[in-house]
């Protein structure tokens, strides 16, 4: 298997020739918004430096300023390798929060809106022809107090408090560049069909269509070559389907864990795609996929056609000194390993569109993921446009990851607080459900996790009550649907339960102060032993319920002032993790 370098940003679309542009950039605050008038994109002011991709609010950026600075600038020089000179040079940004203008050698190259999704620009025509260094400048606007921007847990006040944390402004995921030919692979999408043993591949071609264009596809599994295919390409979009089941030489376990993807058996198929014009290679991409199916049958959640109990942990993806940006690739991997060590089989990535490197490790290690959008805090038509536009790009980016089994565009009526009775906001929630379904039929979708559902594939309920109160709430279907956690109804007016699986998608939140910590939780204990016992009491209630099909415990780690993690913010255990695993191993 080809294993990409641990800083390669697109693990399912790997080109071997590329250059990482993270590291030291020049940096400037533009609080007076004078950078455009003074043409900073052509004459960048001397002063600060920042370590990309860490936001200026973080310690790891080298700046660590958490006050409001709504406009910032970045600048650096690059040297395009000599061997790239005859190719198109593409500049990529993993994520920049929130609005970005990218300049190359003083010329505007592109504009992008959205703090969670990647964007790219072909900067070939803007590069110098004399071999001297080229200059890149990035202007970013991130209006700190605009509550209609999808910002998730980033607070609109300067000091974090309650469930809201320090903001992330500007570049917060990897920046890189790579050379491509004028005709290249634009995107690929894998769709498994385990019932028929097929994998469907969709490919989009970027650039000029030329005669004699062909696509080679090679698929292997555990070193065994299953598919070697060559097809002519006549259009910019093409779809190929391959039956994998009939290709196995050992067919003793082709209907079970021998080749399906699951947390217990994270089987992955390796793929190589080569775009050719005759015998000339135009592009080559390494990829992978998993054969996995998510469905609901007779109200039961199914993974690979079998009932599956989800034991999830809420993971907000914040790191001390780095906020939303993981300090290392190993840190992303370690969070999954720690969760699995405690017996969790997945995570709900709460109010954060996670770095694709996290999804890579979830695929590799076997870990379910609920993909969630960062929400706005107030509703308007502009807020609805912003979240819908960006969410479309999120689903497109992450579609092929087998670890993602649920999409969650909206949470707890954030940004549409009147959804329980307001027809327009109900239409917004329902439209987000159907928008997601329109581009992905392979996963389950919730219209509004927590309560006040309109149309949903799962009835996700948030309840931070005591074990005794939850036992009463989930002793029957009727009690589950009529209980009003946080004084919220489970279904919005005009909508009702349609037999979907019931899951308690937030509970717990038990605070335990370690050493001199200050902070809060939904309840509190005074020792690691007490934390284990309270976790046992609350989780046993859910295991014992005849109607609950899974849970998501709040939460994996402490985050700033919120100290209800099973781990500290520094990822140190607060209790004996093997005891948590014993409790979680009941089902």
CA distance 243 to 259: 13
Give the per-residue pLDDT at 2. 47
Give the per-residue pLDDT at 4. 55
Return the closest-CA partner of residue 116 out of 151, 79, 90, 82: 151
Structural domains in the chain (count): 3
Beta pairing class for 99-104 and 96-97? unpaired
In a domain, 6, yes or no: no
**Residue numbers of the domain that contains 393:** 294-584
Tell me which of 160, 179, 198 is where a domain ends: 179
Peptide bond into 555 cis (omega under 30): yes
CA distance 488 to 452: 7
**DSSP letter at 533?**
H
Beta bridge partners of 164: 161
Do 168 and 212 sit in the same domain of this protein? no
**Distance from the first to the final alpha carbon of the chain:** 34
**Which CATH number do you get for residue 207?**
2.60.40.10
In a domain, 54, yes or no: yes
Q: How many residues does the chain have?
A: 587
Do 271 and 173 sit in the same domain of this protein? no
Do 136 and 272 sit in the same domain of this protein? no
CA distance 400 to 111: 27
In a domain, 11, yes or no: no
Do 470 and 529 sit in the same domain of this protein? yes
48 burial type by CB count under 10 A (0-12 exposed, 13-18 middle, 19+ buried): middle
Tell me which of 179, 194, 229 is where a domain ends: 179
The model's pTM is: 0.96
**Which CATH number do you get for residue 576?**
3.20.20.80
Do 209 and 163 sit in the same domain of this protein? no
In a domain, 13, yes or no: no
Do 345 and 480 sit in the same domain of this protein? yes
Beta bridge partners of 171: 96
In a domain, 7, yes or no: no
Return the closest-CA partner of residue 185 out of 86, 249, 271: 271
List Cβ neighbours of 168 (8 Å cut-off, separation of 6 or more). 55, 57, 97, 115, 154, 323, 324, 325
Give the per-residue pLDDT at 258. 79
Do 174 and 188 sit in the same domain of this protein? no
Do 301 and 276 sit in the same domain of this protein? no
Contact 473, 465 (CB under 8 A): yes
Do 442 and 389 sit in the same domain of this protein? yes
List Cβ neighbours of 447 (8 Å cut-off, separation of 6 or more). 409, 410, 429, 430, 432, 433, 453, 454, 455, 456
Cα–Cα distances in Å, from 188 out to 294, 446, 580? 21, 26, 40
In a domain, 422, yes or no: yes
CA distance 157 to 396: 32
Cα–Cα distances in Å, from 30 out to 46, 73, 544? 13, 7, 57
**Which CATH number do you get for residue 33?**
2.60.120.260
List Cβ neighbours of 66 (8 Å cut-off, separation of 6 or more). 57, 158, 159, 166, 167
Do 415 and 500 sit in the same domain of this protein? yes
Do 164 and 281 sit in the same domain of this protein? no
Q: What does the block give as tokens for 11? A: 């693990």
Tell me which of 140, 161, 179 is where a domain ends: 179
Positions in the chain short of pLDDT 50: 1-2
| DSSP-H helix ranges across 275-355 | 329-341
Peptide bond into 53 cis (omega under 30): yes
Beta bridge partners of 19: 177
Do 258 and 378 sit in the same domain of this protein? no
In a domain, 5, yes or no: no
In a domain, 528, yes or no: yes
Maximum Cα–Cα distance for the chain, whole Å? 75
């Amino acid at each position: 298997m080809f294993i990409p370098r641990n800083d390669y940003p697109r693990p399912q679309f790997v080109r071997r020739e590329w250059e990482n542009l993270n590291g030291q950039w020049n940096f400037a605050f533009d609080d007076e918004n004078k950078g455009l008038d003074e043409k900073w994109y052509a004459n960048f002011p001397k002063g600060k430096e920042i370590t990309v991709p860490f936001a200026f609010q973080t310690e790891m950026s080298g700046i660590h300023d958490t006050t409001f600075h709504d406009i910032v600038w970045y600048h650096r020089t690059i040297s395009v390798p000599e061997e790239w000179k005859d190719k198109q040079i593409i500049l990529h940004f993993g994520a920049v929060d929130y609005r970005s203008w990218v300049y190359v050698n003083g010329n505007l190259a592109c504009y992008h809106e959205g703090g969670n999704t990647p964007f790219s620009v072909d900067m070939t025509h803007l590069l110098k022809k004399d071999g001297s260094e080229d200059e890149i400048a990035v202007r970013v606007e991130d209006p700190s107090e605009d509550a209609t921007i999808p910002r998730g847990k980033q607070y609109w006040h300067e000091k974090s408090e309650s469930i809201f944390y320090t903001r992330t402004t500007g570049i917060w995921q990897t920046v890189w560049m790579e050379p491509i030919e004028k005709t290249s692979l634009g995107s690929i999408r894998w769709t498994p069909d385990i019932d028929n043993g097929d994998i469907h591949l969709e490919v989009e071609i970027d650039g000029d269509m030329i005669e004699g264009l062909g696509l080679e596809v090679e698929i292997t599994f555990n070193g065994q070559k299953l598919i070697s295919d060559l097809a002519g390409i006549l259009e910019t979009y093409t779809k190929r389907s391959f039956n994998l089941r009939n290709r196995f030489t050992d067919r003793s376990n082709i209907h079970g864990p021998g080749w399906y993807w699951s947390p217990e058996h994270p089987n992955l198929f390796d793929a190589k795609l080569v775009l050719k014009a005759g015998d000339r290679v135009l592009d080559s991409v390494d990829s992978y996929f998993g054969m996995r199916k998510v469905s609901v049958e007779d109200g039961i959640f199914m993974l690979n056609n079998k009932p599956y109990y989800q034991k999830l942990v809420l993971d907000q993806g914040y790191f001390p000194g780095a906020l939303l940006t993981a300090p290392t690739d190993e840190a992303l991997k370690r969070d999954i390993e720690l969760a699995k060590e405690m017996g969790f089989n997945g995570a709900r990535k709460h109010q954060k569109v996670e770095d694709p490197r996290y999804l890579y490790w979830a695929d590799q290690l076997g870990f379910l993921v609920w993909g969630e959008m960062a929400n706005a805090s107030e509703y308007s038509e502009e807020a609805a446009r912003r979240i819908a536009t960006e969410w479309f790009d999120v689903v497109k980016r992450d579609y092929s990851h087998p670890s993602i089994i649920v999409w969650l565009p909206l949470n707890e009526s954030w940004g549409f607080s009147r959804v329980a009775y307001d027809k327009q906001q109900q239409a917004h929630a329902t439209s987000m459900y159907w928008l997601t379904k329109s581009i992905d039929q392979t996963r389950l979708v919730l219209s509004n996790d927590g309560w006040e559902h309109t149309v949903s594939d799962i009835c996700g309920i948030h309840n931070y009550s005591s074990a005794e109160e939850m036992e009463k709430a989930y002793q029957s279907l009727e009690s589950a649907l009529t209980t009003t956690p946080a004084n919220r109804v489970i279904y919005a007016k005009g909508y009702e339960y349609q037999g979907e699986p019931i899951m308690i998608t937030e509970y717990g939140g038990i605070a335990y102060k370690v050493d001199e910590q200050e902070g809060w939780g939904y309840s509190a204990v005074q020792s690691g032993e007490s934390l284990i016992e309270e976790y046992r009491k609350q989780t046993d209630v859910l295991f014992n319920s005849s109607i609950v099909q899974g849970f998501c415990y709040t939460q994996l780690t402490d985050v700033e002032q919120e100290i209800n993690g099973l781990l500290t913010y520094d990822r140190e255990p607060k209790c004996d993790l093997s005891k948590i695993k014993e409790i979680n191993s009941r089902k």
